[in-house]
């Protein structure tokens, strides 16, 4: 069967990565979480004091971009690839509210995007990939054979994210999570470079009331029709 590129874009916490991971597994494709790459750069900026309080030093971060090496390594037990920064596993460390607060401002920096987009295009050059993010169908793989745009109401997304963070042991309020999700969406969809928009040829799926099984089944049917 022909291998294709599957681009899944959408707002924060639409459950893109959960279904994308399962889709990749079912098709025996590589799965790439590009949000983890922007989070890795943000984690690097925080660790290297390139962010003071609410201000980030974009020039200093741009100067240090060549010191950032992001890789993925498949974890057999978890069944997906975890993200590494300069050889260190940071999969858990990038999921904090602190990283979430700064990631969207960092993702507006064109030099950061250029570096990550180049790496993402290399990862998908042999196809057989499911990639999720905000600009995959519009910028990274404008020729992707299958493009999905996932949506869900802001409240549905905040509840999902809130439950996920609670399960991971984070102690925060629902309102903090809702505020983070809506702020990130606003920054992501209004930035100048590669704003989050639905590609003209993307298929929109509102998954507010859809189970994972139904979403996976729908995507598998769409993918099979393209191969
Ligand atoms: O997918 P996730 O919510 O982990 O992404 C974190 C942030 O990374 C997004 O809010 C967005 O600012 C940025 N991002 C992006 N382009 C992508 C993937 C993520 O700008 N392709």
Q: For residue 36, what are the contacts with CB-CB under 8 A and spacing of at least 6?
A: 72, 83, 91, 94
The verdict on whether residue 42 carries a ligand-binding annotation is no
Is ipTM > 0.85 here? yes
Range of the domain at 93: 5-221
Ligand 1 probe mutation, 38, 97, 186, most atoms within 8 A of CB: 38
What's the whole-number average pLDDT of the chain?
94
Summarize the chain as % helix, strand, coil (round to 5).
Answer: 50, 20, 30
Q: What is the mean pLDDT of residues 125-137?
A: 98
Q: Dihedral angle at the C-alpha atoms of 9, 77, 86, 61, nearest 10 degrees?
A: 30
Q: Is residue 76 part of a domain?
A: yes
Q: What is the mean pLDDT of residues 105-109?
A: 95
Q: At what angle do helices 174-190 and 154-167 cross, to 10 degrees?
A: 120
Q: What is the mean pLDDT of residues 10-18?
A: 92
Identify the H or E element spanning 31: strand 30-33
Q: Is residue 226 part of a domain?
A: no
Q: What is the mean pLDDT of residues 129-138?
A: 98
Q: Is residue 155 part of a domain?
A: yes
Ligand 1 probe mutation, 120, 134, 190, most atoms within 8 A of CB: 134
pLDDT of 28 higher than 70? yes
The verdict on whether residue 16 carries a ligand-binding annotation is yes
Q: Is residue 14 part of a domain?
A: yes
* C-alpha–C-alpha distance, residues 130 and 222, integer Å: 13
Distance in Å, CA 37 to ligand 1 centroid = 8
Total domains in the chain come to 1
Q: Is residue 227 part of a domain?
A: no
Q: How sure is the predictor about 54, in pLDDT bands with cuts at 50, 70 and 90?
A: low
Q: Is residue 35 part of a domain?
A: yes
Q: What is the mean pLDDT of residues 22-46?
A: 97
**What confidence tens digit (pLDDT) does each residue in 143-194 have?**
999 999 999 988 899 898 899 888 888 888 999 988 988 999 999 999 999 9
The minimum-distance atom of ligand 1 relative to the CA of 13 is 3
| CATH number of domain containing 110 | 3.40.50.300
CB 143 within 8 A of CB 121: no
Confirm or reject: Cβ of 101 under 6 Å from ligand 1: no
The verdict on whether residue 14 carries a ligand-binding annotation is yes
**What confidence tens digit (pLDDT) does each residue in 82-96 have?**
999 999 999 999 998
| Confidence (pTM) | 0.95
Q: Dihedral angle at the C-alpha atoms of 181, 164, 79, 136, nearest 10 degrees?
A: -10
Q: What is the reported pLDDT for 227?
A: 83
CB 141 within 8 A of CB 133: no
Please classify residue 62 by burial: count the beta carbons closer than 10 Å to its beta carbon, then call 0-12 exposed, 13-18 middle and 19+ buried: middle
Percent of the chain topping pLDDT 70: 99
Minimal-distance CA residue to ligand 1 atom 21: 133
């Amino acid at each position: 069967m022909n291998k294709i590129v599957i681009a899944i874009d959408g707002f924060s916490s639409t459950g893109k990565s959960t279904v994308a991971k399962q889709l990749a597994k079912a098709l025996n494709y590589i799965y790439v979480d590009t949000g983890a790459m922007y989070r890795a750069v943000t984690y690097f900026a925080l660790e290297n004091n390139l962010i003071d309080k609410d201000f980030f030093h974009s020039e200093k971060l741009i100067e240090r971009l060549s010191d950032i090496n992001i890789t993925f390594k498949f974890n057999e037990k978890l069944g997906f690839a975890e993200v590494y920064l300069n050889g260190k596993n940071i999969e858990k460390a990038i999921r904090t509210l602190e990283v979430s607060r700064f990631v969207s401002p960092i993702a507006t920096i064109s030099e950061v995007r250029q570096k990550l987009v180049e790496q993402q295009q290399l990862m998908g050059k042999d196809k057989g990939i499911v990639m999720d993010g905000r600009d995959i169908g519009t910028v990274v793989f404008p020729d992707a054979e299958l493009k999905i745009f996932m949506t869900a109401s802001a409240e549905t997304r905040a509840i999902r994210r809130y439950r996920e963070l609670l399960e991971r042991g984070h102690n925060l309020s629902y309102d903090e999570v809702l505020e983070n999700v809506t702020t990130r969406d606003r920054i992501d969809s209004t930035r100048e470079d590669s704003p989050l928009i639905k590609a003209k040829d993307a298929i929109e799926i509102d998954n507010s009331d859809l189970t994972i099984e139904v979403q996976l089944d729908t995507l598998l049917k769409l993918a099979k029709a393209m191969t």
